[in-house]
Structure 1
Amino acid sequence: MTGAEDLNYPKQLLEYKDGFMVSKTMFTACELGVFDLLHESSERLSTADIASRLEISIDGADRLLSACVGLKLLKVEMINGNEIYSNTDLSSLYLTKSSPKTLHHMMMYYSNTLYTCWNFLPDAIREGKNQHERAFKISTKDIFEAIYRSEDEIKTFMQFMDSVWSICGKDVITAFDLSMFHKVYDLGGNIV
């Protein structure tokens, strides 16, 4: 049910419209190593320090870091007239590669694979089939042929799956009485 205020200003629709920008900002910060650099650094880092160490432009770094502060993925404080950045607890725990609860690999899989496939959603709906071939120029009838096409792709997919498991694995295992079983198998699924 839509309220009158929603019809006067479509806040929900505007948030939906920008959702991909939020995702891609987080994915980019992960890919460039922003969270890892801040986690591993023993000193506080300015925009110029981060840009230099990651070999990215200062202007680009400034925009990305500011966006991450807005998303509450980074913290910033002014020290001697310089903006100095650090990770939030959330990004330290989930977006750094070295964390036991890292979701870094999930973010990279979403950015490099799922995000690319979703560009072809209209084609998938029209044709009723997955768009892996169109997205990655790989001819395949079985989606897992594409996922397992090389050692690197297998590693990437397994790291993604491990990320999922690190978050919800304990809940899955404890949701059922599995005491009579000695092995658990992941039977996978069919990804469109």
Structure 2
Amino acid sequence: MEPAGTTVTTTAAAAYPRKILDYMEGFLVSKTLFTACELGVFDLLASSQHPLSLEEVALGIRASQDGTERLLAACTGLDLLNTQTLDGQVMYSNTEQSSVYLTQSSPVSLTQSIHYSSKTIYLCWHYLTDAVREGSNQYEKAFGVKSEDLFEALYRSEEEMVKFMQLMNSIWNICGRDVVTAFNLSPFTTIYDLGGCSGALAKQCVLAYPECTVTIFDLPKVVKTSREHFVTNDNQRVSFHEGDFFKDALPDADLYILARILHDWTDVRSIELLTKVYRACRPARSPVIQVSIQRPSMSDGFLR
């Protein structure tokens, strides 16, 4: 007799567990993409005027031929690379999407986002089991930084702050215009972007609405870094306001934008912030709230 709870239905046993296997091995795909970007495979192929052989790629990225061959084969299987055979030799080149999104020279490159996912987010998820058991973030294990505040950990050094802001830049370069044009925002000329970080969304906003000005409301150290690395003096319709949107009064504006903000905080703190925005709104004006909705497998809720 089988032990209780071990009976397997005929239907379940006969079905191939494709979804479970995909979930189980999904990290292999992520690490293949991360590694190819970190080694500069796509940049090397983009800089070449013709497809490259295995030997040329291995030499260019300073890696072993055996390891490079395996990596290139994986990337080809994931439709990240094209192959063709010339004189009996396999030659590699970027696919169209890899050229657009996986090369650093592209204006809509995702390489900075990929590097951050590999070096920071992936490491946090390594301790997911501990996070669930303890109900707390795992920054001390991941980075040696004990912090109950998400951004104290993310901004633990200027270098890490720049990396995080580059991540935000790459995201808004891809979808920022779609976000700010989802509704007609032309009636709103004075806009505050709360937690505007690198200013990438603010720049998309002033491009879409020539009559508006956008002020980035963020922590003093974030404003300093953004001015030094991301927002130049040429962006005259983008300005800054130093402050903490939980502690400081919100300046008067026609419109408040919260983009990729609420998912970083607990429900209690999110309600606190939304209440504050509501009370600051001018009559007949409304805040815009853009929350990052992601698939459960991609959620960063356990980071906080």
Report the TM range for the smaller structure's normalisation.
Answer: over 0.9
**Structure whose CA Rg is larger:** 2
What TM-score comes out, normalization by structure 1 length?
Answer: 0.93
Corresponding residue for 2:191? 183
Unaligned runs of 5+ in 1: none
Aligned Cα root-mean-square deviation (Å): 1.8
Secondary structure in structure 1 of the residue aligned to 2:50: coil
Unaligned runs of 5+ in 2: 1-9, 196-260, 265-302
The structural deviation recorded for 1:148 is: 1.3
Q: Deviations over 1:95-142 (max 9, x none)?
A: 111111111111111111111100111111111111112111112221
Q: Is residue 95 of structure 2 the alignment partner of residue 88 of structure 1?
A: yes
Corresponding residue for 1:39? 46
What TM-score comes out, normalization by structure 2 length?
Answer: 0.60
Q: Is residue 163 of structure 2 the alignment partner of residue 156 of structure 1?
A: yes
Distance 1:6 1:94 in 2: 41
Distance 1:84 1:92 in 2: 16
Distance 2:165 2:13 in 1: 42
Secondary structure in structure 2 of the residue aligned to 1:20: helix
Percent of aligned pairs with the same residue? 49
Corresponding residue for 1:112? 119
Q: Which among 134, 159, 173 is matched to residue 127 of structure 1? A: 134
Distance 1:26 1:87 in 2: 13
Secondary structure in structure 1 of the residue aligned to 2:90: strand
Distance 1:70 1:33 in 2: 18
The structural deviation recorded for 1:186 is: 4.1
Q: Is residue 153 of structure 2 the alignment partner of residue 146 of structure 1?
A: yes
**Structure 1 residue runs of 4+, over 4 Å off?**
none
Distance 1:6 1:26 in 2: 33
Secondary structure in structure 2 of the residue aligned to 1:97: coil
Structure number having the greater strand percentage: 2
Distance 2:194 2:46 in 1: 33
Change (3 A) 1:120 1:170: same
Q: Which among 21, 32, 35 is matched to residue 28 of structure 2? A: 21
Structure number having the greater helix percentage: 1
Secondary structure in structure 2 of the residue aligned to 1:183: strand
The number of residue pairs the alignment matches comes to 191
Distance 2:159 2:123 in 1: 18
Letter in 2 for 1:132: Y
Letter in 1 for 2:131: A
Secondary structure in structure 1 of the residue aligned to 2:99: helix
Contact 2:137 2:148 (C-alpha < 8 Å) held by counterparts: no
The structural deviation recorded for 1:184 is: 3.9
Letter in 1 for 2:122: Y
Corresponding residue for 1:101? 108
The structural deviation recorded for 1:11 is: 1.1
